Structure 1
């Protein structure tokens, strides 16, 4: 694995990611904001660090550091730039699905490649007009013989859509909740394509676009789990990886916003202003609360404890806190800085808003929490998929 070597200390890890972000990411930010194009070079640089294998066991050449360390990585990348963290987190989600649902052959083929940076994966679930309703998907997978499926359909809001070398695609193979199935589809396989990248509100440099499947033939060996396991694969990936990943990204944006505000109020006129003091107090409170909520949740996950509710709550609380904090930071900076597109405060505000939607909006998180609170749930996914290898061995 090239790049900054991971050590056995969380603080050393934090410093190493921070050094990478300053050296590699920071010079690209003005270019990404200006051009609003997919940064293939940044995606490759992040992949080469091996960070998408943070929760992959060393048996498959992964880092084996656990979810706590993964959170440190994503927070520090987002502290520098939201798009860089988005690239990493989008690759971690399908990697986690492979860890839990992949066959031995799939793991031996793809996990070492991910760890080495030779493969950057994406997960393709959402479809036009369906939003977070996974069961409403219309993409189809038809088994045409003993060895082959043919996939057809459209996926949207696919993180790493244009830079991924491997797609974990969920399609419908039968009716009902047990009719979804997941497949691995190589990006160069005939029948899979990506329309032109369309920039959106924030996270400039990150690709989150459309993927089209047109008579795409995949072997049965590329099926992840059994036929009908697709809903479970999608839900486990979202709850165990997607939601805490996005919370980590939001936490990094909050940290950067706080640091920007602290620098701004070195101006004595602002420092003594009561309204500004109150804003600063609220920004700092939200940052502390977000950090406690998120790191407690991923620590529970690393230790095999049931924590679905905590992971869902972390995504809800930290994302909303980041939206509020980055908006408040604009008010502290004022029109001189906060209203211009080349200022970091404005960029963080846009980036934070983009994190509201993936892995379920805040309204959806509230709905899921209501089901958990009312006891309408199966065995928690966090407990069901916990393994000794999943537990972090890096000292705090």
Structure 2
């Protein structure tokens, strides 16, 4: 059964411009994304043409400076756009979030010359980015990464393997964290690597339980040479850059999670009002009514949490703890809501004829990416209690 376009969520947007922007996004979803989502996910089709359309429409650089082709939108607006995209198709919503994450280092820490040279193409020139932090042996413990960058004259030579890279093998550029110094966080530096760099090769995409349209692959750097002009920030500053990017990226994941949960709730509510048992709609039964009420409450609470964190970010205030809370709560809520949506549909929920089984499979990965939810709890606890004693 083709996916229905998600029903509009009542939103409070700060400007007429942002309201027009949301109308554009919803129109694009209705015409280009939702009608094809189920079939293309089932076929494992990566919608590069959709990302090209998003770039052409100015939707790949929403939170970045208009001077370089961005949309100059506050995170409060950008995240609600992400939620709408993810509700229609998570491959698209998460892909936009990953692209924004890949642009963060250059936009926040690059020189004016670097920004002028690269950001216009990254934000509105049709390019698609990826973010390379994780490795086969360093996931949550990112400071232990082993990919090395060795100085050779005016160049750096990068050697190593990155893992779990969204858009791996299809991205036009990669923001890569590599070791340039000693052990630990202080020895890591960020680089902007072209997707067609010599010596850069992608392994076959991972075979995943969900998000089959979004390629996730290992990347092998076999002596990839990049000029020092593509080093982002100072030597040894890379881990701090990575952490600042992840704070913002976690809000993107939170918004995507609420989008998936919203889509699942709408499907469950529609089914419950139409399905007849014992001579009346199953939506009349208190058990299901309470389940749907709980689902709606979790979604609204998660939305409020990620928007509160976004407003802190927009105001220039610290938001790391709130980003971790939003990522933790929203993705756990999405897992509960999508599981309950399958239950509401009963046997039909377990079939490919309805999209709720896909939503449930997709929700799981959101508890893992951009730092597992166990890591989010560690971040929150440290802000609350201070570092662990040894």
TM-score, scaled relative to structure 1 = 0.89
* 1:74-93 pair list within 5 angstroms: 74-93=82-101
Report the equivalent of 2:355: 344
Deviation of 1:14 after TM superposition, in Å, equals 2.3
Deviation of 1:42 after TM superposition, in Å, equals 2.9
By relative contact order (CA 8 Å, sep 6+), the higher-ranking structure is: 1
1:111 aligns with 2:119: yes
Q: d(CA) in 2 for partners of 1:99 and 1:193?
A: 26
The match for 2:369 among 336, 358, 373 is 358
Q: d(CA) in 2 for partners of 1:61 and 1:34?
A: 34
Deviations 1:156-184 (A, max 9, x none): 11122132101110011111221001101
SS class of match (1:324): helix
Indicate if the aligned counterparts of 2:200 and 2:221 stay in contact, CA closer than 8 A: yes
Deviation of 1:376 after TM superposition, in Å, equals 4.5
The match for 1:314 among 323, 326, 332 is 326
1:205 aligns with 2:213: yes
SS class of match (1:53): coil
Q: After the TM superposition, which segments of 4 or more aligned residues of structure 1 sit over 3 Å from their partners?
A: 7-11
The match for 1:264 among 258, 261, 271 is 271
Indicate if the aligned counterparts of 2:91 and 2:211 stay in contact, CA closer than 8 A: yes
Deviation of 1:72 after TM superposition, in Å, equals 1.3
RMSD across aligned C-alpha pairs, in angstroms?
Answer: 1.6
Report the equivalent of 1:155: 162
Q: d(CA) in 2 for partners of 1:33 and 1:121?
A: 21
1:10 aligns with 2:18: yes
Indicate if the aligned counterparts of 2:60 and 2:124 stay in contact, CA closer than 8 A: no
SS class of match (1:265): helix
1:323 aligns with 2:335: yes
Report the equivalent of 2:7: none
Q: d(CA) in 1 for partners of 2:254 and 2:168?
A: 21
Change (3 A) 1:39 1:162: farther
Q: d(CA) in 2 for partners of 1:100 and 1:57?
A: 10
Deviation of 1:31 after TM superposition, in Å, equals 3.0
Q: Identify unmatched segments of 5+ residues in structure 2.
A: 1-14, 275-279
SS class of match (2:281): helix
Indicate if the aligned counterparts of 2:38 and 2:355 stay in contact, CA closer than 8 A: no
SS class of match (2:377): helix
Provide the aligned length of Structure 1 versus Structure 2: 368
SS class of match (2:273): coil
Is the deviation greater in 253-262 or in 21-30?
Answer: 21-30
Is the deviation greater in 258-267 or in 349-358?
Answer: 258-267
Report the equivalent of 1:254: 261
Deviation of 1:46 after TM superposition, in Å, equals 2.9
1:297 aligns with 2:305: no
Indicate if the aligned counterparts of 1:309 and 1:372 stay in contact, CA closer than 8 A: yes
Deviations 1:59-86 (A, max 9, x none): 1121101211110110000111111111
Report the equivalent of 2:9: none
Indicate if the aligned counterparts of 2:149 and 2:180 stay in contact, CA closer than 8 A: yes
* 1:1-396 pair list within 5 angstroms: 8-145=16-153, 147-176=154-183, 177-239=185-247, 241-267=248-274, 268-335=280-347, 337-376=348-387
Indicate if the aligned counterparts of 1:43 and 1:163 stay in contact, CA closer than 8 A: no
Deviations 1:4-61 (A, max 9, x none): xxx8443332222121112111233233233224333233233333322111111112
Q: Identify unmatched segments of 5+ residues in structure 1.
A: 1-6, 378-396
Q: d(CA) in 2 for partners of 1:331 and 1:115?
A: 41
Deviation of 1:202 after TM superposition, in Å, equals 0.9
TM-score, scaled relative to structure 2 = 0.91
Is the deviation greater in 318-327 or in 355-364?
Answer: 355-364
Deviations 1:67-123 (A, max 9, x none): 111101100001111111111111010212221111112211221112323221111
